[in-house]
Each structure stands twice: as C-alpha cells, then as structure tokens.
Chains A and B, each alone.
Chain A
Amino acid sequence: MNEAGLQTLPSRADVEDLLIREAELLDNWELDAWLDLLTDDATYYVPPTDKPDASHADTLFIVADDIIRLRERVLRLKDPNCHAEYPPSRTRRFIANVRVRPAEGGLIDARANFVVYRNRRGGDTRMFTGEYRNKLTHAGGKLKIAERRAVLDAEELGSMGAVSFIL
C-alpha cells in the first residue's frame, strides 16, 4: 500500500502464480490450504447464468458464500456424507488470459478465463468454462483473494448439473 492508500498493482506473473497455486490446491482437494489463500472475510460467488452481472443481494445466485458459509462448505466437501462429491470428483483447471487492473476500494481486479473439467465414474466428464472476476488484496505481506467470483459462460447450467465442488 502506498501513501495514497492505493495498493501497488502486482505483476501479471504474481497474479498468475496465485491463481495457478489455487487451481493446484483445488484440483488436489487440499481445501484447508486453499482457504489460506483467502482473506478472513472472503466471499465466493457463482452468479446465475441468466444474470451473470447481477448482485447476490437482490438476485438468486447459484453460490453466494460469506466466509462463514465458505468454511462450512469446505467442511461439507471433506465429509464422505457429501454425497454429490463422494467419491470426490477429479477436476482439472486451466487458467488463461489473466488481466490485472486496479479496483475500487484499493483492491486489485484480477480476471482470468477458466476451463474446469469435472470427471466422475462412468465416463462422466463435464466441462465448465467462464471467467474468474476476483478481487485481490495484500494481507499479512501476501497477495490474497478477497472476493472470488466464477462467472459461467453457458446460458444455463444444463448438463453441467450441480456446482457441488469449488468452481
């Protein structure tokens, strides 16, 4: 943070490192370690496919977690009684087209395109494509995710089914 209260804009390489590390942790189901990449008041959103730019305060989202519910989501995902993700899906994430810009409130707007493949038994492979619209911040000397927004490209969730894992 400089004297004007603005955060120093990280390089694209720094942001890419964070997103790639995040993808690795999520694909490996190291969910507690993944939580460490987030701020203590982080949020996680998946907007509805018909209103991708809307606010969760007045629009029904697919996911709109505050940090309390996000931690509960991780507890759920680690539990064998999370039937939708047991056995856990095998996922593979590809991150590309990373863009870094200053955002309001001194935050960093970090956008990236994603492709996530979700594999389950029986030849069931589902593909999720979209854009991460994340807000980053420096906390404790580290670059962290303050807001995580995964915006899907599809017109409807359709054959993707449920977003039962962390997208």
Chain B
Amino acid sequence: MMAIRHLANCPATQQCAIYSPRHSDGGKIQGSSSVQSDTGQSNTRQSNTPLVVESPQDHKFLVNRRSFVSDEVLRDEVEKVFGSQWIYAGHDSEVRNPGDYRTRDIAGRPVIFCRDGKGQVRALINTCRHRGAKVCREREGNTRGFYCFYHGWTYNTDGSLRGVPGEDGYGPDWDKSQYGLAHAPRLESYRDFWFVNFDPHAQDLHDWLADAKNYIDLVVEQSPSGKMELISGTQEYEIRANWKLLVENSVDDYHLLSTHITWMNYMSNSGVNMKRPKGDLLPSRGKGIDLGNGHLCIDNPNYRGRPVAAWISVYGEEAKADIDNIRAELADRLGEARAARVADTNRNLSIFPNLVINDGSSVTVRNFWPVAPGRMKVTAWALGPVEENEEQRARRLHAFLTFYGPGGFATPDDVAALESAQEGYASWREVEWNDISRGMHKDAADQLDTDEAHIRVFWRRWSQLMEGAGAGARP
C-alpha cells in the first residue's frame, strides 16, 4: 500500500463515506473492558484508504482514525514499528551495581534488564529455555543468578545456564552452553539511556537517534558530572486510548490553554506570571522541531519554573539562594550561553516511537505500550542529577507533581482528553480523519510549539514504516 499520499489523488478525502462499508468492527474497543475484538474478522487490510495523507499545496495533513481503533493496524505496529526500531529498555542508574536487575515488558516481551557479575548491562529475555516459565518474578533487586522454580534450572546474571537438576537425563550430546537465556538481539546506550532492538540488522543507536542526541545532552547537562538518575518511585497507569495519542499529547502545546486551565490557575495563584503576550496562546513562544528519524521536540523559553535554576514562588523563598547557586555552577561549567540553554528553556522530547523525556516543571521519563488499539500502559519516572542534596531532590519531586503524573494538576486532564478522543473514534466510519495541519501554510523555520509541524514528523515516520517505501516523499 502506498503511504503518505498526495491529497488530490486520494478519493478518500473527496468521498470518505464510500470506504466505510468495507470496514469491519475490528476497532470496536474504546473505553470499555471488551478490549479483545474479533481478531481475524477485520477486513481493513483490503481498504485502499491510506492511514496518513499529506498535501502541502492545500496545507492539509490528515490521519485516518482507523489508525487508533484497528486491530489490524496494531498487529502491523507490533511488527513494523516495535519490531524494527530502538525501544527504550531502562536507565543505567536502575542497575548501578553488579547483580542489580529490573524486570519489565519491553515491546511486549518479558525482559530482565540487569547488570551482570562483571558489570556488563544485559537485556535478557525472561523465559526459561526449558519450558518457558519466567526465571525472575520480582520487580527489582540484586541477585547472583536467576532461578526457574518450575524444574529448577538456574542461570547466571549474564544469562548463561548454570545448572540443571539431573543433567545426566539429557545424554552425552547435550550442550549446556547452548541453553543460556536469550538476549535482546541488540542493546546499546546513549548517555545512560539503554535501548534494545529486536532487529539484529538495525542501524546503530547513535546514528538512529540523530539530532535527538542534542536534546538528551541538554537534559543530562543539568548534572555537574553528566550523570542523571531515575529517582525511586514508579507511576504505572493505563489510559483507555491509543498509544499514539500520548505521543501527540506529550509534545502538543496547542492544548495547554484549554486542557490545563486549572494548572494555569494554580500557577497564577502561586504568583507565577502566566500573562500571555497579545496574540500568543502561551506565556512564551517556542518552536516545534524535527530531529530526524521520527524524533521531535518542542523547545520553549521557560515561564513555569524549573528546579534547575529557574525559581518560582511555588518553591518558597528559602529556595532562592540555592537555585542561584545551581545557576552559578551551570554558568561556570558550561558558559553563560549554554547555561541559559539548559536552565531557561524547556523541552518536550519524543524519541520514536514510545519514549518521551519532558524537561519542564521537572524531568519526566515516560514510556508507553499498546495493550489493545484503545488501551495503553504508561510507566513514568522522575529523572534528576545524581549530585542533588536532600533539599534539592525534595524540591524537584514537589515540582514534578505540580504538573505531571496520575495525581498531578495536569496529566489527569490529558488522560481525560485522550480517552474522550478515543471515545469519539467509535465513529471512525463516519468521521474518518484527524486534522494535523496547523502551521502548514508557514515556512519550516516559523513552526511554533503551538503548531503541529513536529507532530507531523511522528506521523510521517510512522506512515513510512507502516505503509511502506515512498512514504514521507512530499510532492
């Protein structure tokens, strides 16, 4: 199927309804517990309707709502997106010492993210090579090895098979060295962010990250030693919406004014200047930026307070001097210009497909997975410099909760917006298209954070992977 199509060649945009009868009920999943649908019954594959349509001449960029409700599309994503791209696995600080481990699902696979006895970080597939039971069932810990309780096979932290009860039952040809735990085919890191790739032939992580590296650098440079750590405490929650909606939402500054009124009021009540210059939607005017390979960000002058060197009244008077000191250290180390970049700008960074690092009111690392077309699991952490003292760490965590997380002053309203959209997509047969055209009439250099150029970056990459060669070509 051809991917991003020229709008004029796409009959769907002229007479959408003619495609509708061919769609099945494959996407009937929104908002309820009946997330399993009639697999195999969907005939959306036969549809000629593209999922992403772009027409620069008409300043139109459309995403078919089938993308959010179809089992077929999700099955394709599992193969073509999550099976081919670098997927975030964990942060180096989570497995600081030899023997440290965390168990988690990565791209639907049970994985032990660990540091082996010799200090090498590993991504082991958490399934016994004998009959499949998980060899580690704890959430996290430190261990000398992994043990399958089903028949008692034991493994070392590098994945090699250590012992098998009654090994003589396998005969002389049995080669124990061939029965270690499987590893994710590729495991690489950039500045302590570890990624796996289930495609052994994938491009190197460093190249694949493209310009996203510059923004990871900006986040990491908050730390005097260049070492950030994931802070204890995990927010794990579900959203009854398609996973791609959280990509959009995480980098969408257009929604702030209407979705987050109560957060803005809270800031304003707390003495933060939330005044908007005439004609602007937000107190500061930022940019939406294409970072290559589907990675993107918004890059904004700060107005909302940052634990790294931008004091707001919410932090309390007593924090002022300390934040001045943090700022002075930044300027000493990085120079005034770079210090200003680190301290006085916010960035919401989306690393394709499902990792978001938002460096705003605090730093959040957010990872999310589809469990059904209309349902995702979100895992979110706070990230902070390893050097922070108790007071600074407490301030960072307090600042985090002013906005982020399932009990924050903003995230629950995002969740409500995404779930509301997903409910709306039950009418995907009648109302086929989402509009992502904002700002298209302007030059690339003029794309604001409140435009949608950066959101189109995600969709172009997604379409390229999902709908094949030729995608992304803009006529």
Contact = CB atoms under 8 A, between A and B. Distances in A.
Interface of A: 46-51, 54, 56-65, 68-69, 72-73, 75-76, 79, 81-85, 122-124, 155-164
B31 A156 contact: no
6 contacts: A48-B235, A50-B139, A61-B233, A69-B401, A76-B265, A162-B406
Contacts of B265: 75-76, 79
A46 B32 CA distance: 26
A159 to B, nearest CB: 5
Contacts of A79: 261-262, 265
A81 B261 contact: yes
B98 interface: no
A161 B262 contact: no
Given A72-B270, A82-B262, A84-B416, A157 B397 contact: no
Interface string B232-246: 111111111000000
Nearest to B380: A60
A73 B199 CA distance: 46
Contact of A157 (B232, B235, B240, B382): B235
B310 interface: no
B412 A84 contact: yes
Contacts of A164: 406-407, 412, 415-416
Contacts of B413: 82-84
B390 A57 contact: yes
Interface in B67-89: none
A111 B394 CA distance: 26
Interface residues of B, number: 43
Given A72-B409, A163-B407, A57 B415 contact: no
A84 B393 contact: no
A59 B266 contact: no
Contacts of A59: 231-233, 397
A161 B232 contact: no
Contact of B397 (A50, A61, A85, A156): A61
Interface string B381-401: 110000000100110011011
B189 interface: no
A51 B234 CA distance: 8
Nearest to A82: B262
B93 interface: no
Contacts of B263: 76
A162 B411 CA distance: 8
Interface of B: 31-32, 139, 231-240, 259, 261-263, 265-266, 269-270, 377, 381-382, 390, 393-394, 397-398, 400-402, 405-407, 409, 411-413, 415-417, 423
A58 B232 contact: yes
Contacts of B390: 57-58
Contact of B32 (A75, A83, A122): A122
A69 B393 CA distance: 18
A123 B416 CA distance: 16
A157 B413 CA distance: 17
B2 to A, nearest CB: 38
B393 A57 contact: yes
Given A76-B266, A79-B262, A81-B261, A58 B236 contact: no
A9 B398 CA distance: 33
B223 to A, nearest CB: 17
B402 A157 contact: no
B275 to A, nearest CB: 19
A46 B412 CA distance: 15
Given A83-B259, A161-B237, A58 B416 contact: no
B237 A48 contact: no
A68 B402 CA distance: 11
Nearest to A63: B407
